[in-house]
Amino acid sequence: MLRFLKHVQVAVWMTLEHDQFSVAKAAAYSAIITLFPAVLLISSILTASHSTLNFIREISFAIGGIMPAGTAPAILTFFQGHKPAPGRMIVTTSVITLWTGSGVMISWMEGFRRAYQMPKIWNLTKERLISFQLVFLAGIPMAFASFLLAFGNQIEHWVAFHTNHELDVYFLALWTVIRWLIALGTSVAVIVLIYHHGLPRTQPWHRVLPGSVLATVLWFASTTVFGWYLRHYADYRVIYGSVGTAIALLIWLYIVSLVILIGAEFNALRYPRYLFGSFSELKVVATAEERRPEGK
């Protein structure tokens, strides 16, 4: 336990040493730009599919569960007031979301490279293509978890109705635990995928799992603490007016990016670069990539 805490302490220090705070700022900026077209895309799809208000409430509750306090009502209001969008707008919004989301991944990939002190190997085209891949890899499990969380109450009521009422209390407690495990497991899985594919040298799963678990724990803990701080001490809507929610989200996204980079530093500390490729080998690959034409 003491060794683990020592590694966490060193990982935080290396985050300062490698200037990961500037990387987190860039990732948070890209993330806040990604968030609004993503919400627009989701609301357009839900409106086009004639989803019920109860379903939209469940989606808003699921999103609000991982965001700071005060953001869920704003998202719900946005969903309720949104009108059906044409198919062309949905396609355009999807492209914008994909492009800006890839910017988040590129910032994180730069942070991973700094954590392992690796040379810059990928050219701009390959880096952008890999970032697109990471957006899809991260989006699929998150969409699956959101689906389960959104339909959680319906599943809960259906099972309770078809079982003995004496089991209702036990089932509700068990289902609550399952939903939390789904949220935690999905977060770990997404971060593992990003760590695994975010470096030029793909790492074994067991080498990126410790940092993923640490980043998930720090993510949930920091979100809880930040939400408590907003509720009791800082109301950004009073200071910044109508953009207060956006300011709070920007700070929260900065914190999330920072804990993901801390997790990468933790993995780099436990499994240094020389365990998955010598510096000379990486240098040869980097030289070959630099000599390759940009479009190839």
Give the closest residue to 101 by CA, choosing from 208, 44, 29. Answer: 29
Q: What is the percentage of the chain residues whose pLDDT exceeds 90?
A: 24
For residue 243, give every residue at least 6 positions away whose Cβ sits within 8 Å of its Cβ, in sequence order, or none: none
pLDDT band, residue 35 (cuts 50/70/90): confident
CA–CA distance, 184 with 108 (Å, rounded to integer): 21
More confidently predicted of 68 and 31: 31
Give pLDDT, residue 28. Answer: 93
Q: What does pTM read for this prediction?
A: 0.78
Give pLDDT, residue 79. Answer: 59
pLDDT, one tens digit per residue, over 72-130 is 566 656 655 555 556 677 788 888 888 999 999 999 999 999 999 888 888 888 999 99
CA–CA distance, 99 with 128 (Å, rounded to integer): 9
CB 77 within 8 A of CB 39: no
Give pLDDT, residue 270. Answer: 87
Per-residue pLDDT averaged across 18-45, rounded?
85
Q: Give yes or no for residue 195 having a pLDDT over 90.
A: yes
